[in-house]
A = this chain, B = another copy of it.
Amino acid sequence: MSRGEDELLAWLRSRPGTELLGDDAARLPAAPGKVWIVTTDSQIAGVHVPPELDPALLARRLLRVNLSDLAASGAEPAYALVAVSAPPGFAHRRLFDALLAACAEAGVRLAGGDLARSPVLTLTLTLLGTRPADAPVLSRKGARPGDALWAGATLGESAAGQRLLARGARAVPSVRGPRVTLAAELRRPRALAEAARRAVVRHLEPRLQLELGAWLGSRERAAAIDLSDGLARDLPRLARESGVGAEVEADLLPFSEGFEGLCAALGEEPIDLALGGGEDYCLLFALPENEPPPGRFECARIGRVTEAERLVLVRSGRRQSWPETGWDHLQPSG
């Protein structure tokens, strides 16, 4: 009596962090004094990541892209539900082993899920986090003219990593994170190879910005958005919700070590990846000018919030109109 689904569920329920599984729906423990913050995001093999990517790496990425949305709300992660639609023979246990380990690291318990057959591996995670009910709301709406505009991490590196994977870089999981093998032409010089490996890792394992989000959430006033579609697409969203404009200084955009050399090897302009590459999965945020984030977060000031509802890119001292680039899931051309 080999019943795949029930066997998998029994195995899952024997693992720590899955005590809420086993019913049609999960009853979440009460969280007095807290409100719930919820978000959902998918990862599709062949769309977000190469089709043959190890399920363990896909699982880690799935959680992190969702944690990034919670970070932008200043929430503390608590529970996840995951829908796994996969082709016959898919290594479900490999996926869940990695997902449960990543959830444990982030303080997340698995509260439900769904298993289905599908010709295309599609994972959808819903993440529930909490915020103290009396804490200020952190959202896209809090930016005011005169605020400083910040990036929570370097930009464009994830997009470079995506291009490296498309050109034949491969990654396998290891205890110290993804181990990357590059295509032959990128293996030297050594500094280039190291920048390339870091870019692939950055693409596969987005930075955790939860502590930064929690710090922003403790400010009296702040605005934050998760940079998922690229600064060029996501800054307008933050500005629109806050009813403000912004000026970004191209020279201030933060690049990782060796990023410009890597871009040269890839035939890409660094600023194009930083503005429109997408999937940075770090925070873009606005704060009053005199309240910079603590140095430990390694954020970069990239511009300022303005009165006029207009976005400007200042490049070599010249003011340019805002680039219409970035990732749009409904438009192939972006």
Contacts and interface: CB of A to CB of B under 8 A. Distances in A.
A226 interface: yes
Contact of A75 (B22, B25, B129, B328): B25
A49 B140 CA distance: 38
A60 interface: no
Number of copies: 2
Interface stretch (A27-35, A165-173, A244-252, A261-269): A27-35
A293 to B, nearest CB: 18
Interface centre among A120, A224, A328 (most CB of B within 10 A): A328
Contact of A4 (B2, B26, B331): B331
Contact of A226 (B24, B82, B127): B24
A191 interface: no
A225 interface: yes
Contacts of A48: 116
Contacts of A203: none
A113 B3 contact: no
A112 to B, nearest CB: 6
A29 B133 CA distance: 9
A128 interface: yes
Contact of A114 (B79, B124, B140): B124
A1 B113 contact: no
B330 A115 contact: yes
A124 B39 CA distance: 13
Contacts of A23: 72-73, 139-141, 241
Contacts of A183: none
Contact of A117 (B79, B81, B329): B329
Interface in A92-126: 92, 111-120, 122, 124, 126
A128 B36 CA distance: 11
B73 A42 contact: no
14 contacts: A3-B324, A5-B328, A24-B39, A25-B69, A25-B70, A25-B129, A38-B126, A39-B81, A40-B83, A41-B114, A44-B118, A92-B330, A115-B330, A120-B120
